[in-house]
Chain A
């Protein structure tokens, strides 16, 4: 197998892994195996997957800083795009399945639900990044491309807060059902800290 087919093969493998949760959820929904509230289950699980892929997409840069492993960088875009697909599906399920495209009703829910505000801003950032993710846009936007794509740090933070607010508890101080959002915030903080230039240099020197 030459380098070219090997590279294509691992792209396919990553895409296959990333689409698996969607297939599993879709099949479970159709055969009625998502529990007594299947729509809420779909909403929650697609949100989980979107957030997990978003965090994974943030792992490759720190991985390079800490281990010098360079070849992971090419997976940033694929995993980030999959995060967007799941986030968009998550929102469409809310709008279509949950609220039956009843726009006034959905609008009322959005206005009255703080947690949705955080999710919508995150989704807007991911949408902008997805549109400008191609090489063409990268060239066209030059320096601004980096500026735009750095908003992923904000989007991931907002997504974790969005998740935390959907659970019964209190984010500040952490009380109630906020264990996983807390884990998310700690992982997020570590991934951000490694990127801070002085720390980045220190970590690179240590290896």
Chain B
């Protein structure tokens, strides 16, 4: 556990044993609760009130609920489809407007930089969220090593394109390969991680092995998986979802309960494993660390 103020503290987190017994209790009360609620038309768990504590999401959930369209649009099916996905050897090309472009293996990155545990909330644009103990290091360490040139304003990321193993990439309705991007100052923020593991083990393939980005104050789709290319560029790069539906998925895609830029509301979310809804927090609750990046910007138009 590192000393970062940005990560959740261990003692704030409910022990697993207690968590599971609570889950069982919640499920039981759900069955009874529906009947009671129907009878009374009363009010059950509300999304308002005091903030609820964050609990690490069980590994089993993290491994079996994956938005990884390279394999399937069915979140429950991805775990079974990654078995033939080969992630070794793996090379990452780091280039564009940098002083020392390099092609480096995932193993070299993992052995060169010290990964520490960062417990982050992850909020999906679909309206659910989880809490994940990632193992990674700030991306800015890698960017410093390659020396980003002053004319670079953005960092662009690309996922592997290998339709023989990533069978979802045969779907013609998507602009493969998956691409994402961050403004340089966003990429340099200490919260932005290059992640190689979770729960102390190497990343499961369905969670973006061997290397992925995690940007906790943005909707999950910004946290690109299985990266093969990192480029420093001058202009705002095209991104996968922004190409598909620019009205819905903007370049910034910061978590924001007040902007329903998708056809659905973003005001609340369901934490997987919980019954009721939680209020969604601006910048996913990381405003202290990142709100200054957007000072003076209209978040309604720059969604």
Contact = CB atoms under 8 A, between A and B. Distances in A.
Interface size class of B (residues with CB under 8 A): 35 or more
Contact of A176 (B34, B174, B266): B174
Interface in B218-255: 241, 244-245, 248
17 contacts: A35-B76, A37-B128, A96-B37, A100-B276, A101-B44, A102-B45, A105-B47, A105-B267, A112-B267, A165-B263, A168-B125, A169-B173, A176-B173, A176-B174, A177-B73, A177-B173, A179-B171
B10 to A, nearest CB: 23
Contacts of B268: 105, 109
A40 B126 CA distance: 10
A168 B31 contact: no
Contact of A178 (B30, B173, B264, B265): B173
A170 B73 contact: no
A154 B45 CA distance: 36
B173 A179 contact: yes
A136 interface: no
A178 B46 CA distance: 33
Interface residues of A, number: 35
A112 B260 contact: yes
A98 interface: yes
A103 to B, nearest CB: 8
B278 to A, nearest CB: 11
Given A37-B272, A100-B276, A168-B125, A174 B173 contact: yes
Contacts of B73: 167, 177
B126 to A, nearest CB: 7
Interface of A: 30, 32, 35-37, 39-40, 96-102, 105, 108-109, 111-116, 165-170, 174-179
Nearest to B171: A179
Closest 4 CB pairs of A and B: A100-B44, A112-B265, A170-B245, A112-B260
Contacts of A37: 65, 128, 270, 272
Nearest to B267: A108
Question: In this complex, which of A108, A167, A170 has the most chain B Cβ atoms within 10 angstroms of its Cβ?
Answer: A170
A100 B36 CA distance: 11
B177 interface: no
A46 to B, nearest CB: 14
A100 B241 contact: no
A96 B38 contact: yes
Contact of A36 (B65, B174, B248): B65
A36 B272 contact: yes
B26 to A, nearest CB: 10
A37 B69 CA distance: 18
A113 B76 contact: no
B267 A109 contact: yes
Nearest to B43: A102
A108 B76 contact: no
Contacts of A179: 171, 173
A194 B203 CA distance: 53
B270 A39 contact: yes
Contacts of A177: 69, 73, 173
A30 B31 contact: yes
A179 B69 CA distance: 13
A170 B277 contact: no
Contact of B263 (A36, A96, A114, A174): A114
Nearest to B27: A32
A201 to B, nearest CB: 37
A100 B126 contact: no
Nearest to A118: B263
Contacts of B273: 36
Question: In this complex, which of A37, A39, A108, A111 has the most chain B Cβ atoms within 10 angstroms of its Cβ?
Answer: A37
Interface in B247-299: 248, 260, 263-268, 270, 272-273, 275-277
B65 A35 contact: yes
A101 B125 contact: no
Given A96-B37, A112-B264, A112-B266, 19 more contacts: A30-B31, A37-B65, A37-B270, A40-B126, A40-B128, A40-B270, A100-B44, A101-B37, A102-B45, A102-B46, A105-B267, A166-B263, A168-B126, A168-B244, A175-B174, A175-B244, A175-B245, A177-B73, A178-B173
Given A36-B273, A96-B34, A166 B264 contact: yes
Given A39-B270, A112-B265, A97 B30 contact: yes
Contacts of A178: 173
